[in-house]
Amino acid sequence: MRQVLANTVGRALWLLSLIAPAACAHKVVAFSVQPALVCPGERVKVDWDVEGRASLKTDRGDGDSSDVEVPSQGEQEPAVERRTTFTIRALDASPADPPSFASKSVDVALAPVEKGVNATCDAGSRKCRGSFTIGADDQTLTVKTIAGPRVVEGGRARPASICVSHAGMATACLSGDDKVAVAVPAQGAWELETDLPTGYAGPPDPQLRIQLGFGCP
């Protein structure tokens, strides 16, 4: 009887040894940086939740980076002076787990920001059109100015006349060094349109670019 009991307990302990590592998997549970677009010098809120030991890397480009061990859960509000990538890592994550378990990164851009779209040109209407979307993560941003209309063909950019449409504002057409004052939420679809370039010979179609300003000092 004692031998049977001992064998049963032994098997139970063996099973627990298999289950325990799975239950204690080390991974990044959540990571966010808000907002993802700021004026130079503004602060962002960095939040993380990691199972096990964690490190936070701040990469400002040009070899300027730091990587320090941080508590498993926490938050910081650093000022961002230039484009910066924040990366949280689960230091004890298993190499066998998906990469998303081990680390997550968020890139913070600085305003003003240039947006480009690959246009689709139509010889019949003699127009080239394209659109881009600013997502829900940037719903607190307000675009104050639109400027810098350019067309890129064959890798070379040139000033152009581009009309810009967005919900909540009248269509704004600008060219050259024009800067149009607006005050609309950045979130949503932005549509760009320009006349078919002179001498257009077919694909590849040009890229349309504009610069969105956010009232930075």
Instruction: Please report the DSSP string for 35-98 in residue order.
Output: -SEE-TT-B-EEEEEEES-EEEEEE-STT-EEEEEE-SEEEE--B-SS-EEEEEEETT--TTS-
The Cβ of residue 146 has, within 10 Å, a number of other Cβ atoms equal to 25
The Cβ of residue 19 has, within 10 Å, a number of other Cβ atoms equal to 9
Please tell me which residue, 196 or 17, carries the higher pLDDT value: 196
Contact predicate 110/39, CB 8 Å: yes
Contact predicate 176/147, CB 8 Å: no
In the chain, the percentage of residues whose pLDDT exceeds 90 is 59
pLDDT band at 66; cut points 50, 70, 90: very high
Amino acid at 181: A
184 three-class SS:
strand
pLDDT band at 123; cut points 50, 70, 90: confident
Res 140: pLDDT: 66
| Least confident piece of the model among 14-23, 73-82, 102-111, 140-149 | 14-23
Helix (H) or strand (E) holding 158: strand 156-159
How much is the pTM? 0.68
Task: Read off the pLDDT of residues 29-47 as tens digits, 9 standing for 90 and up.
Answer: 999 999 888 889 999 999 9
Map out the domains of the chain with their CATH numbers. Answer: 25-110 (2.60.40), 113-213 (2.60.120)
Res 106: pLDDT: 95
Res 4: pLDDT: 46
Q: Quick one: which of 44, 190, 211 has its CA closest to 144?
A: 211
Task: Read off the pLDDT of residues 71-111 as tens digits, 9 standing for 90 and up.
Answer: 999 999 999 999 999 999 999 999 888 888 999 999 998 88
